[in-house]
Structure formats: structure tokens, C-alpha cells
Structure 1
């Protein structure tokens, strides 16, 4: 079982304790950018960077900042095998990533578009007759898990179970309940593994048009991936494909209601604004952090960072750096460079699923805007009652909204 000192606890660094402060850490980000842009936390022996250029350098420069690490923010139990793209650097990383990458090429995504559109249409027609709907449960949660199950070739009837395992695997550790959470994760990983294993064996015998079948045929250094490696890759993709896309879709609706009320009408008059809104939500409302290990002694940020120490790149803070984004604290879908956010990472570890997440968000929002004339918050909505602990701090577990039919 992974011990507590292998896990970096973000809230112990930020000292943001309340749900509200973790949901809106942006004032703290600003304070750190202005007063302590390179900050050393001695309790966890971890450096922290908050400026856009620093964060980008940490994510890009694998010679100085390695992804081969023993400690991590990622709360998933670690299994390092040849199909894991998370804990390695180029050139090894390039080989591993190439196996998964061909599933996410623009060509593959174009082929999947009609399948994604069909899933979106079905979910939206399910809420068509409602006047109030919990958009998190009915769309943000359902869409990504249904899509990724379909693309991987896993029975869609099992999607609630898959979502359950993914949620446990990505649930953040806390100091007080560490061992208990670690045990739940080990159990979820074991159950998830035992569930996928026979499916993978079946795909090897009878390949179909899906990612798991492709992985059974994929080769690494002239050898096929083992059944175990295919299963582990499947778990990684099923888990990762859920969490972030659910958060993106939930946050899009929150931003339309609270960050810039009225923007929904602009989307209705001009659907080309939909992708712009998606990018601005990724920039504006994603409190993401990523970690690397210092690979050699360096003073690249003006402080002595020692080989072996950890460095946390506070991506959510970088995305609001005024030197990169003018009026960064304003929600503005017409910002010319809002696509330069770092929410999906940067450099060799740029998120493989980014094009899929964008596609799901754009298809979902476009279909939604065509179907409904307007959205409003429900009366008396208080965000703190609708939040849940997540890997990045807090995320929406529900968001009730009022719908007006077009």
C-alpha cells in the first residue's frame, strides 16, 4: 500500500481549507503570483510555481523536471508498467504514448463524431420535457462515461459501475483518513481489474472496432502488450476520460450562469462562439496543478532547487497570469489567445484526451443551445452545498438549472 509520504497533499500547501476557498482559489493564486511566485513548502519538501512561464517550463523541460517520480499529487494507486504514460520521460514516454495516441488522432475522432453526437442527442432528449434539471448528473456525468465506454468497447450497461470505480480512484487523499482512502482505492483497482480482464481476453480472440481491441494488437518494441498491460491502459483511459470532461461540462454551465450571466444568448445567436466558450472555461475555471521531480540541481527560477525535490506547477494560477492574458480575472470568450491555457498540460505530456474532451464539450453545448431557449439558476442556489472533494480541490456534484424550451 502506498504510504502517506508518497502523496503530496495540495491543501496542506495552499492552506485553503473551506469548500468555498477550494472552489475559488483564485485570490490565493493571485497573491502567490504577486508575492511568492516561487515558493518552497518545507513540510512536504516541494517547490511551487505560479507564473505562466515557470509553469510552462516545468511541464516542457523534462531534462530539468522529470515525470519519473516516487511521490505524486495523482491520487491513483501506482502501477508502473510499459503501458503507463504517467511516470516516465522521453524517449521511453514517446514509445508508450504512441500506443495510445493513435486512438486519439483527428482521423479517429472524426470517425467517432457521429457516435458522440448520437449519445448527446439521446441525453438531451431525456431532459427535453423537464423544466428543472441537474445538469451535472444528467449531462456532465453521463456523457463522458458513456462515450469512453463506447469507444473502448465496454458494455454501456456497466457505466455506473465504471463511474463508481473511477470516482474512488481519483478521490483525493486527506491526512486524517489516509489509510482508509488508500484501502478503498486498492479495492476499487482490484475490482476494476477483475472486471476488465475477461473483456480484454475476449477482444483478443474476437477484435472489434474499439480501443481495447486496438490495444490487444498494439506493439511496443516489437512485442505485443500483455493482457495485464492492456487492462491497465483501459483502466487509465476509462478513469481519466471521466473526471476532467465531467468537470469541464459542469463548469461550462456554471460559468454561463454565474461568471458571465447572459452569455448563453450570445451562443444562441452565434454557434461559432461555442468553442470559444469551452476554451475560456478551461482557462478561467480549472484549478489544476501538476507535479514533476527536479532531475538535477538547478537555479532556473532564481532559487536553489535540489535534485530529487518535487515541484508543483499550479496551472490554474498560470492561466490567470496577467503577463500572458490581459484582464486575466475577467471571463471573456473573445480573448484572442485563450487557447494558450495550460489546463491540458504542455510539452511531451500534453493530455492525450484533450481533443476528445473538446469534441464532447462542443457537441454537447451546441446541441443544448439549439434545444433550449434559455437557462437560469434555481432560486436560492448556494454553491457550497453542491460541491464534492476532487483531485483538484472541489468540483460540482450537482448543479440544478431551470430550462426554457426553444
Structure 2
């Protein structure tokens, strides 16, 4: 049975318990060893779990194109001129160029002092000796404030922006289709109504931000409408804060629990911060990406038909021991951890990856400089703080020591 518009990973994994969502790697390992190429008959969808197979799906846009009528991505599939997710070269290249200059190394270098200032403020407000929710205090406000600033949206509205973004990016759930559709429609309506006057005002008085860049941009002889810009900004605000929030949250959990010696290694050598971030992205970041099959193929062994769908299980690929020896271990000294596929690959490599990395590294450097150690709160149980049918921690209680 093909599902309309959406793909549902939970219908493939059949996860039911919080423990399964928190530790899906047991299932990933089993699939790598026993069913590395798996066909899900219910959704007429192929699944690959090995590193090289996942990398092929992400990089070969002719065999595995992005244009598709169903997806795991919980955003509307309708077309707009700035949509990057469901387009391929040469169209994708032209659209990506409209946004890419905001995320170049030169642009980010200009942003670094502003990011560092916000990091120092947020870390400076952390109080040692008592349990604090590091998600609420640092992992959420940092990325959503930065992406709002970059886009040209009032940063003081970050809380409501985060609320709308969270609803829009809720994962598909076959048991809640109608409920989620209504929630997303309402959030999209409110978010759009908030952004529209901002876009209109910037059309009259442009500034140095992405919204103004889109207003000035010309695409195939015409300019973007206000609503096209609104929809693009909604997507960027959502994607631009969700990934980095998860990364920073996972970073604090991994350094406290996945390798008890790691924080001491980092304190002894703070230059390891970028390697820590890459290992967190590899080791503790649950993500799946999908594509359409562009032509009949047996590239992975079984015969796959044109227009079927295929899912690359990135979280499994990132622990594939053929690419990452001892891949089930969290090791901040690991060589080659940056070859993970968490930010995708090929033409669709995440546009915001350099920004996410910079924010996480600056946050970690500031934190390590101030606090000699930290630990999870005594009563903290990660399984109790997951989103519904989600792998992501919504809260992380830690105790700091100066």
C-alpha cells in the first residue's frame, strides 16, 4: 500500500517504546548485518543502511533525483521558485545560488563576533551547582536567535518563532495525520501572517540580510513575490534552528555519558572542539533522507523500479564499521569522523552546515573555558524527555562545576 504524499519511518522500524526511539542503533546494526538493502512493501519503498549505499543515494541525482511526490520531509511538497529540497541540477544550482552567499566562509567570518558575543552572554548566565536545562538555556536560544538575525527577523521574537518552527517540522505520524495537518496549517498561517509585514517593510527599506537579498534577487527575468519570500524564510527559520539545537543538545549528552573521559581530553586540549562536533554529528544524530528512483536499476543488488522511493538511513551509515572502525564507540580523537553523512551529500549538502558547525564549536569553546566539569542531574532519565515518537531530547538537565 503506497501512502499518499508522505513516507513514515515508524511504519518501517515499528518502534513502540521510548527505549527503542532513544537507542535505535541496535536495530540499525541488525539491518546492516542482515538486511542492508530492505524493501518495505507497505510503502513501496527501498531502504539502505550501509555507508557507501547511502552516499550513492545522496550523491547521484540522476539515478536518485530529488523531485518526488512523497517524502519523509515534513514540509509541503508544493513548488516555489526558491525550493531547494525537491529540485536537482541545473535548476537546483540556480536556486541555491540565491541563498548561498549568506553562508560562505567570508560571510560567516563577518558573523563570528556576533555569534561569539551571544554565546558568551548565554554561557555567562549559566549558574553552577544547581540543575539547569541546557536545552532551554543554550541549545534553543543560540541558533534561533542567530538565524533570525541573519534573515532579518526581530530576534526578540525567537520563542514564538521556535514554537511555529517546531510544529511545522513535526515528523509524519500515520496515527495522527489529520491532527498534524491541522496543527501545521494553523502554525503556517500564523507564521506567514507574522512574516508578511516584515517582508513588505523590507521591500520599502532593504537592509543587509537574507530577506532583503531575496527581494533584490532576480530569477529568470522576474523577482520573487512577497509570499514566495515568506515561504522561503519559514523554511530557513525552521531548518536553521532545529538542526543546531539538536547538535548542541547531543553534544552535551555525549560528553557526559557516551565517553566519560572525553570532557577531560577536551579541557586539556580545547583545540579538539571541532573534532568533538564532527564525532557528535556522526555518532549521535538520528536522520533519514529520501529520494525517488529515477530509472530501473540493480545497483544495490535487488531490482528497483523507476519512480519507487528509497530511504538512506544516515544514522546507520554513520556507524558502518567499514567506514568508521569501532563505529559504535564515541571517540573525539577519531580520524575521519567528518566523513559522516549527517549534512547530506552531493548537490544537496546542507547549505547551513558551516553555520551550524561554527555555532556549536563557539558554544563548546566558551563552555569548556568556564566550567571544569559537569554531569547529568541525578534524577535525569533521557527516555523521559523525548518528543513524541522522536529520537530528539527536548530537555537535558545538567549540573555544572566551575
Matched residues in 1 for 2:340 and 2:272: separation? 17
Is 1:203 the counterpart of 2:197? The answer is no
Q: Deviations over 1:239-297 (max 9, x none)?
A: 00111110000000000111011311211111111111100000001121000001111
Q: Deviations over 1:66-96 (max 9, x none)?
A: 1001100011233310111011111111111
Is 1:395 the counterpart of 2:382? The answer is no
Deviation at 1:150, TM superposition (A): 1.1
Matched residues in 2 for 1:139 and 1:44: separation? 39
Deviation at 1:222, TM superposition (A): 3.2
Whether contact under 8 Å (1:171, 1:389) holds in the other structure is no
Alignment of 1:141-180 (within 5 A): 141-180=140-179
- Secondary structure of 2:290's match? strand
Matched residues in 2 for 1:123 and 1:335: separation? 30
Alignment of 1:367-378 (within 5 A): 367-378=366-377
Matched residues in 2 for 1:380 and 1:229: separation? 47
| Matched residue, 1:70 | 69
Alignment of 1:311-350 (within 5 A): 311-350=310-349
Moved more, 172-181 or 3-12: 3-12
| Matched residue, 2:214 | 215
Matched residues in 2 for 1:247 and 1:101: separation? 23
| Matched residue, 2:121 | 122
Matched residues in 1 for 2:297 and 2:371: separation? 54
| Matched residue, 2:133 | 134
Q: Deviations over 1:88-147 (max 9, x none)?
A: 111111111110111100111000001111111111122146632111111111111111
Deviation at 1:6, TM superposition (A): 1.3
- Secondary structure of 2:174's match? coil
Deviation at 1:358, TM superposition (A): 0.1
Alignment of 1:7-406 (within 5 A): 7-128=6-127, 131-389=130-388, 393-405=390-402
- Secondary structure of 1:66's match? coil
- Secondary structure of 1:388's match? coil
Matched residues in 2 for 1:312 and 1:120: separation? 36
Whether contact under 8 Å (1:77, 1:169) holds in the other structure is no
- Secondary structure of 2:231's match? helix
Deviation at 1:389, TM superposition (A): 3.1
Matched residues in 2 for 1:215 and 1:365: separation? 33
Q: Deviations over 1:376-396 (max 9, x none)?
A: 111132111111137xx3211
Q: Deviations over 1:21-53 (max 9, x none)?
A: 112111111111111010000001100000111
Matched residues in 1 for 2:388 and 2:375: separation? 25
Deviation at 1:4, TM superposition (A): 5.8
Matched residues in 1 for 2:231 and 2:380: separation? 40
Matched residues in 2 for 1:360 and 1:389: separation? 27
Structure 1: unaligned runs, 5 residues or longer:
none
Q: Deviations over 1:203-230 (max 9, x none)?
A: 1111112111111112222322222221
Query: How many residue pairs align between the two structures?
Result: 401
Structure 2: unaligned runs, 5 residues or longer:
none
Matched residues in 2 for 1:227 and 1:138: separation? 34
- Secondary structure of 1:311's match? strand
Matched residues in 2 for 1:385 and 1:157: separation? 30
Whether contact under 8 Å (2:128, 2:401) holds in the other structure is no
- Taking only aligned residues, the RMSD between alpha carbons, in angstroms, comes to 1.3
Whether contact under 8 Å (1:172, 1:389) holds in the other structure is no
Deviation at 1:173, TM superposition (A): 2.3
